[in-house]
Structure 1
Amino acid sequence: MTLFKKLFGNGQADPKLKLIPLYNQIVAKAREPHWYVEGQVPDSLDGRFDMVAAILSLVLLRLEESKAHALDMARLTEVFVDDMDGQLREVGIGDMIVGKHIGQIMSAVGGRLGALRTAMDDHNALDDAIVRNIYRSTAPAPEALSHTREGLLNVERALASQLPDILVEGDAKW
């Protein structure tokens, strides 16, 4: 029976599938044109990754406030990893080194989580974190940096106004 379950599954839906609507919201928020126009985030693979990672980090920080959602945080991260794995393969990264790239991606997300966790209440620290993590240490024009900072703060406030249960269902309006 074990081999049968491995080959065909156990008949239960993968629990991380319920997090896909939330992940889709994260990606949609990260792809809003204002980040790339007014915020001058590079509209490139790296720039788009940096925005997805930043918005994902804000969502994870919101869910972190509720111990009941620890498993949802892990599953949301798995959905992100699955997406990044697919994206890497789509741009031609081979099986032999995809794992190394995923490790680097997860390290980058962990760094953003730590930076945003400590910087959201201090504009100077937040600006430093944004320049380092979104603009890859090349500061944009002051008005672009201000736009990105205010945009991230707006996302944080919108997430804070949502119940974590509604957020994980992907039904929140933020």
Structure 2
Amino acid sequence: MAFFGLFRRRTHERAGFALYTAAVTAARDPLLFEEGGVPDTLEGRFDLVALHAALLVRRLRRDPDPRGPALAQAVFDAMFADMDLNLREMGVGDMSIGKRVRRMWEAFHGRALAYEAALEGGDAAGLEAALARNVWGGEPPQGAAARLAAHAAALDGRLAAQPFAGFAAGEVDFGKVAA
């Protein structure tokens, strides 16, 4: 009987992948790079995916529906399965994949905690500072960190207003980036 359990999908796996895919799509909005000043580099792209995924995971974990934390975990699992796959496609050797994914996990976790603390405390300056430190290494273009912080705060509110049923079905609306 345990053998058949290997082929069973986890309850929220499909929705988790759909939600993560939507977060990646939102993070790839060209306006974030062109007008937002985010560097169009591997690191810049990771930072935007991490921001969007962290906001989504935050929303799901906070939902009163008991499925929220499991769905948040499914998004997280989808993210790091994708990171693993991307590293392999870029030609990173099998022996170093685990270490690289762990470093990415640590980077994501640190960012998510910093963004959550700032959002939870209504600390716009703290959110801006965390984004400046992570996305630009402390040297953002004039006004870029403030714009990205405003985008993140608005997105946090937008996600909070969406019903859990949509998330459970793998649907999320990240909206458009304000120019």
Paired position in structure 1 for 2:127 = 126
The answer for unaligned runs of 5 or more in structure 1 is none
Give the TM-score, by structure 1 length: 0.89
- Residue in 2 that maps onto 1:169: 169
Please state how far the C-alpha of 1:14 moved relative to its aligned partner: 4.2
Q: 1:52 aligns with which of 49, 59, 71?
A: 49
Q: Is the 8 A contact 1:57 1:113 kept in 2?
A: yes
1:5-154 to structure 2, matched below 5 A, reads: 5=4, 9-10=6-7, 12-15=8-11, 16-66=13-63, 68=66, 69-120=68-119, 121-142=122-143, 144-154=144-154
**Contact 1:58/1:156 (<8 A) preserved:** yes
State the number of aligned residues: 169
Determine helix, strand or coil for the equivalent of 2:136: coil
Cα distance between partner residues in 2 of 1:55 and 1:136:
19
Aligned identity (percent) is 30
Alpha-carbon distance in structure 2 between the residues aligned to 1:123 and 1:13: 40
Q: What residue is the counterpart of 2:157 in the other structure?
A: 157
- Check whether the contact 1:127–1:149 (CA below 8 A) recurs between aligned residues: yes
Distance of 1:171 and 1:33 partners within structure 2: 22
Distance 1:141 1:148, change over 3 A: same
Change (3 A) 1:25 1:139: same
Query: Mind listing any 5+ residue stretches in structure 2 that lack a counterpart?
Result: 175-179
TM-score (norm. length: structure 2)? 0.86
